């Protein structure tokens, strides 16, 4: 397997990342669309903080016709790919990708009904600053879904898992932020933090 420098601004690494993660990220899009539907969410504004190549958002925007999604990220090659998937399609009006930092989100307080941060908590420097920004832009009754890889024995096989947080480490950081109380859970690969009153 060819080795790439793990740098999302590097086009070769970004292409490798997309190829390797497309299916799993799209599957997360289907799962979240189902979850939002079961909660009765039909319309509103969604922010994907650290959207990468936008694979999850493309599924969500197709599945929830009343929603509008903004994906933000700092990676030029991933954003370029994301934009190429929606430009000149009928999704363009409801799904936009912007280059910006999740630690300085360029939207007013209480803008979003739903915020996602998926598979990126371990990538961001100063995650507490990101969490406080998410809290600021999320509406008071909004839904929040944070999901990230969970460091475990599986890290022996997978370097991305090795660089991730354990659930307890993530919990400590989240509890230091301004986010409201939510629910923590874990599976073999992931930990989750969710604020969603069902
Ligand atoms: C592992 S990728 C996950 C991307 C996407 N959520 C997915 O599941 O495919 C981590 C992403 O976090 C982004 N990222 C890291 N720090 C960031 C920051 N401060 N602001 C915005 N995006 C950031 C990277 O550019 C990269 O696209």
For the chain, 198 residues long, give each residue's pLDDT as a single digit of tens.
Answer: 455 667 999 999 999 999 999 999 999 999 999 999 999 999 999 999 999 999 999 999 999 999 999 999 999 999 999 999 999 899 999 999 999 999 999 999 999 999 999 999 999 999 999 999 999 999 999 999 999 999 866 655 666 666 789 999 999 999 999 999 999 999 988 999 999 965
- Which of helix, strand or coil describes residue 32? helix
What sign has the CA pseudo-torsion 85, 158, 74, 8?
Answer: negative
- pLDDT at residue 159, rounded to an integer: 64
- Which residue's CA is the closest to the ligand 1 atom numbered 8? 119
97 lines ligand 1 (CB under 6 A): no
Residue 159: enclosing H or E segment and its boundaries?
helix 159-162
In which element (H, E) is residue 146 found? strand 138-149
**130 CA closest ligand 1 atom index:** 19
Interatomic CA distance for residues 195 and 183, integer angstroms: 6
Cβ 97 vs Cβ 73: under 8 Å: yes
Four-CA torsion 110, 180, 24, 47, nearest 10 degrees? 10
Q: Is 124 in the pocket of ligand 1 (CB under 6 A)?
A: yes
Q: How many CB atoms lie within 10 A of CB 192?
A: 18
Q: Tokens 């024995």 map to which residue?
A: 153
Domains and CATH numbers, the chain: 31-195 (3.40.50.150)
* CA of residue 135 to ligand 1 center, whole Å: 18
User: Ligand 1 within 6 A of 96 CB?
Assistant: no
Q: In this structure, what token pair is assigned to residue 197?
A: 């009153």
């Amino acid at each position: 397997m060819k080795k790439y420098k793990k740098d999302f601004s590097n086009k070769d690494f970004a292409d490798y990342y997309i190829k390797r993660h497309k299916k799993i990220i799209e599957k997360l899009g289907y799962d979240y669309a189902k979850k939002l539907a079961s909660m009765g969410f039909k319309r509103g504004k969604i922010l994907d903080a650290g959207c990468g190549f936008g694979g999850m958002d493309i599924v969500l925007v197709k599945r929830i016709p009343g929603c509008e999604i903004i994906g933000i990220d700092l990676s030029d090659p991933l954003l370029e790919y994301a934009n190429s998937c929606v430009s000149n399609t009928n999704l363009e009006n409801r799904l936009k990708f912007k280059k910006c930092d999740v630690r300085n989100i360029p939207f007013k307080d209480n803008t979003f009904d739903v915020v996602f941060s998926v598979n990126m908590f371990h990538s961001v420097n100063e995650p507490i600053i990101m969490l406080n920004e998410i809290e600021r832009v999320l509406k008071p009754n909004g839904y929040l879904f944070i999901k990230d890889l969970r460091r475990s024995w599986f890290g022996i096989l997978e370097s991305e898992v090795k660089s991730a947080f354990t659930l307890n480490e993530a919990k400590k950081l989240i509890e230091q932020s301004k986010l409201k109380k939510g629910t923590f859970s874990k599976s073999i690969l992931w930990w989750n933090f969710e604020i969603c009153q069902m």
